[in-house]
Amino acid sequence: MADNTATTRTVVDKSKSYFPLAGLANDGWSTDDEATATCFCGAVQLSFPTHGPGFVGSFICNCSDCHKLTASMHATNFTIVDTHLKHLRGRENLKTWGQSQTIFVKTPGADNTMTNYFCSTCGSLMYRVGAAFPGVSILRVGSVDDFALHETKLRPTMEQFTKDRVSWKLPTEGATQFEEDGLHKQ
């Protein structure tokens, strides 16, 4: 049997940059001001600011759309102002798919289309763009190469659509809770 005792585990100090094996690319980086996000196959790489004004915030979304499009129980997202989002490589490799039957249908007649931008080689969802969120792109914390940032600057401060959260998942510690849309209320 495998030995799972705590004494045999390697403890990672995530207060410092930490780039584990995560996909084929090994050229992700972070500085005091910026960091990269890369798809699983490495074809697409973005860079973004890790603090304001280009960095808006990080949040958990439990909505029913996010269940489907992550094939999991929630999405861990962060919002970047479009003028601060850089495509370092692979922009031509991004495929888009959008539809308007989203959870953000609030105003009758309004365009509620949300569009996914994903790597056409490996399928990694890199960001979403929504008519209800002009001027920003919603990226995915899990695609950020420096895993230390998942614990620090990109740690979610807001959690939304808690009404759709599965009963076996706890509220995220330290995140302001919203039963439905929190993005337009912050």
Q: Which residues bind Zn ion (CB under 5 A)?
A: 39, 41, 43, 61, 63, 65-66, 119, 121-122
Select 14 or 176, whichever has its Cβ closest to Zn ion: 176
Q: With respect to Zn ion, which residue has the nearer C-beta, 81 or 122?
A: 122
Q: How far is the CB of 24 from Zn ion (least distance, A)?
A: 8
Q: Which of 14, 157 has the CB closer to Zn ion?
A: 157
CB 82 within 8 A of CB 137: yes
Structure tokens that stand for 53 in this block? 């004004």
Spatial neighbors of 45 by CB under 8 A, at least 6 apart, are 25, 27, 28, 36, 37, 38, 39, 87, 88, 89, 90
Please say which residue, 22 or 152, places its beta carbon nearer to Zn ion.
22
Smallest separation, CB 155 to Zn ion (Å): 18
In the complex, minimum distance from the CB of residue 28 to Zn ion, in angstroms, rounded to a whole number:
13
CA distance 68 to 76: 14
Nearer to Zn ion, 66 or 136 (CB): 66
Q: In angstroms, what is the minimal distance from the CB of 82 to Zn ion?
A: 20
C-beta separation of 92 from 73 below 8 A? no
Strand, coil or helix: 68: helix
Task: Say if CB 116 and CB 137 are below 8 A apart.
Answer: no
Whole-angstrom distance, CA of residue 150 vs CA of residue 182? 20
What is the nearest approach in angstroms of Zn ion to the Cβ of residue 107?
Answer: 18
